[in-house]
Structure 1
Amino acid sequence: MDTLTHTQFTEAGLADWRDLAQGIHARFATGDFATGLRFVTAVGQAAEEAGHHPDVTLTYPHVDIMLVSHDAGGLTPRDLDLAGQISDIARDSGVSAAVEALVEVELSLDTADGQTIGPFWAALLTGSTDSFADGQVRDSGGRVPLLWFQDTDAHETPRQRFHLDVWVPTELAEQRIAAGVAAGGTVVDDSAAPSFVVLADAEGNRACVCTTDR
């Protein structure tokens, strides 16, 4: 099955959902655990009927849902179809989406030899080198943020090697960047905006605010 682009997702008009680093995400503000449990049960029934299953996290005040077609390696029409059904279930349940709360964090490590050090980080983070593939460490259990290795020239340490990629909905990127600057940070490089903007704290440690808008 062919995967979809950011533009195709945007054109689908799924107002409750945003595409971040991995799949499309939504947070539904249920307000209490019992409402969230009923909502999750209804979502589970729809997922079973569709034969396509989202990642669902139920907490006391909200439910987080992520959709992606792992077998296709990206977003597909079946993700959009199920996302639309989930939004319909939310509206029927009196549950609203909280787009402003969406965020996804990835870890990035600058290295000149990711293939050599990748197995170490896989073993350390997940207990198995099998989780290292395609230049990434991916925890199938969802407990560890995705770690990817950014190519760089070989260099002497110390130099910042890790940085956070903070993925937010496109319309929230400027707000998040402004919040970081107001809290003492600086914009180091915005030449690739809105895809990503590099910020630094007062000591020069860097992070990227990222969106899927290329």
Structure 2
Amino acid sequence: MSGDAAPLPTRAAISAAVDPLGWRLVLGRLITHVPVASLREAAQVATVAAAVDAHGHLGADLHEHLTVLYLHTRAVGAVTERDLRLAATLTATLAEHGHVTVPGAPAAVPQTLEIAIDALDIPLIRPFWQAVTGYVDDPAPPDLPAGALLDPLRRGPAIWFQQMDAPRPQRNRIHVDVDVPPEAAAGRIEAALAAGGTLVHAGAAPAFWVLADPEGNEACICTWQGRD
């Protein structure tokens, strides 16, 4: 049986396997940062990594100071056993070329943004958001509800739709979810509170905490924990 056909590992098992390698599980993908000294070196890192990935599981963003690598199995929208093996191989191969995989730095924590839109009639409003953003359908969006919309180049935040049962005029109906590694959540929450925010709800922690700005607009700090 291939790695992609096998049962999916739990989020806890994924984290235990990749955290020591400098990767982090964030919204259904493995992410690592590889520090570099130039954009040319960033491209070299991506070239080395791409030579290891024979199945199209890898994505990369290049910056002048780091290469960001992403791993997940696109066909199922999740991290599989094959991805865990690939993360280990990539880490070892990059080390052979003098590069390290690290889980980010305080100024650049691996994270993913989502925009959640509450709606009474999701099929009615979804085409508008797809048209105005130019986003595309994804049959298996990583760790997102069915019907989520994604930037075709993965530049912007994912957009997903949350079913409402009745109108809710007393609070905002669009909020931002910020997905971070578990160890980064407390610091992000403390910073938000110090900046004038309030903690609205922590009952679902550590999956997510709901925060609000001084005018009541909400955002969530999210992690993979508490979701298996």
Report SS of the residue matched to 2:165.
coil
**C-alpha contact 1:118 1:136 (8 A) present in aligned 2:** no
TM-score for both structures, normalised by structure 1: 0.90
Aligned residues: 210
The counterpart of 2:179, out of the listed 167, 172, 176, is 167
Aligned counterpart, 2:205: 193
Provide, for residues 94-138 of structure 1, a one-character-per-residue CA deviation record: whole Å limited to 9, x for no partner. Answer: 3331434211111101112212211111121116xx627623112
Structure 1, unaligned runs of 5 or more: none
Q: Which is worse superposed, 36-45 or 131-140?
A: 131-140
Equivalent residue letter for 2:94? A
Aligned counterpart, 1:99: 104
Aligned counterpart, 2:117: 109
Report SS of the residue matched to 1:34.
helix
The counterpart of 2:189, out of the listed 177, 194, 199, is 177
The counterpart of 1:32, out of the listed 38, 42, 56, is 38
Q: Which is worse superposed, 152-161 or 114-123?
A: 152-161
Cα distance in structure 2, aligned partners of 1:189 and 1:47: 41
Report SS of the residue matched to 1:80.
helix
Cα distance in structure 2, aligned partners of 1:176 and 1:39: 29
The counterpart of 1:64, out of the listed 58, 61, 68, is 68
Cα distance in structure 2, aligned partners of 1:83 and 1:141: 22
Report SS of the residue matched to 2:177.
strand
Cα distance in structure 2, aligned partners of 1:61 and 1:107: 28
Moved over 4 A (4+): none
User: Per-residue deviation at 1:210?
Assistant: 0.1
Cα distance in structure 1, aligned partners of 2:196 and 2:94: 39
Identity of aligned residues (%): 31
Aligned counterpart, 2:84: 80
TM-score for both structures, normalised by structure 2: 0.85
Name the structure where helix makes up a greater proportion of residues: 1
The counterpart of 1:136, out of the listed 131, 148, 163, is 148
Equivalent residue letter for 2:63? T
Cα distance in structure 2, aligned partners of 1:76 and 1:156: 39
Equivalent residue letter for 2:72? V
Cα distance in structure 1, aligned partners of 2:76 and 2:10: 13
**C-alpha contact 1:52 1:78 (8 A) present in aligned 2:** no
